[in-house]
A = this chain, B = another copy of it.
């Protein structure tokens, strides 16, 4: 499974402060620690102030790329910020995210095609989050038609079936997991990704809920997740789940992950 490290996010106060004061060391430490913990991508979110976001995002990119080679996942709803960011990255970025909204698709897919990297597509649109499996798959269908028309390969499309907190939405996780199984059949070339932490929003001992959900999502066919790579228990849970579902034969990777000194 691909791990997209979530820590460099301007909606976290520690990161917001580092951006405001141009504290490169704080950002670079997060970039290094997440990379060492096994992140395949680093999410980069500069926060939500529209006028400052382009500059802040480029500063973050330059700051991170000065210390690690991990490719970047550009996390912004602002097409202007994304347009300057794709020029600043050293490697093809992941764009996070488009939605099924026609305007979003029209604005952003040319940028994705041009960048040469993958894109995360949230299965919602300007009318909201579809409530049923069928409606989410229909939204995915519209998105896949648009990405293909834009010349983006299916395997560069990471469909995010939308994770809502179980504290507010009875049966919501089950709908998301069933959507994942349906997407696996409907679009076998496309990938599946989730933002993990939403599932436990508003609950105590959130990490146990996150682990349970990620275990079930892996069984449903998950390819990638935006998560906290510094959470050791979560890392062990991922390796354990991959061993149980047979992605990791005989648990060889699991055993190795518990004994870093033997690598």
Contacts and interface: CB of A to CB of B under 8 A. Distances in A.
B245 A173 contact: yes
A243 interface: yes
A239 B246 CA distance: 24
A242 to B, nearest CB: 9
Contacts of A172: 246
Given A174-B245, A209-B240, A216-B244, 6 more contacts: A166-B250, A204-B258, A205-B236, A211-B211, A211-B237, A216-B216
Interface string A168-210: 1011111001000000000000000000000100011100110
Interface string A226-250: 0000000000110111011110011
A250 B205 contact: no
A92 interface: no
A212 interface: yes
Contact of A212 (B174, B244, B250): B244
Nearest to A175: B246
Given A166-B243, A166-B244, A173-B244, A237 B250 contact: no
- Which 5 pairs show the lowest CB-CB distances between chains A and B? A212-B240, A208-B240, A212-B241, A171-B246, A215-B215
Contact of A213 (B168, B239, B244): B244
Interface in A136-173: 166-168, 170-173
A254 interface: yes
Number of copies: 2
A219 interface: yes
A170 B246 contact: yes
A130 interface: no
A171 to B, nearest CB: 5
A255 interface: yes
A32 B9 CA distance: 48
Nearest to A238: B212
B204 A255 contact: yes
6 contacts: A171-B246, A203-B255, A204-B258, A205-B240, A209-B251, A209-B254
A237 B251 contact: no
A216 B213 CA distance: 10
B208 A236 contact: yes
B170 A249 contact: yes
Contacts of A240: 205, 208-209, 211-212
A209 B243 contact: yes
Contact of A166 (B166, B199, B251): B251
Given A166-B251, A255-B204, A212 B237 contact: yes
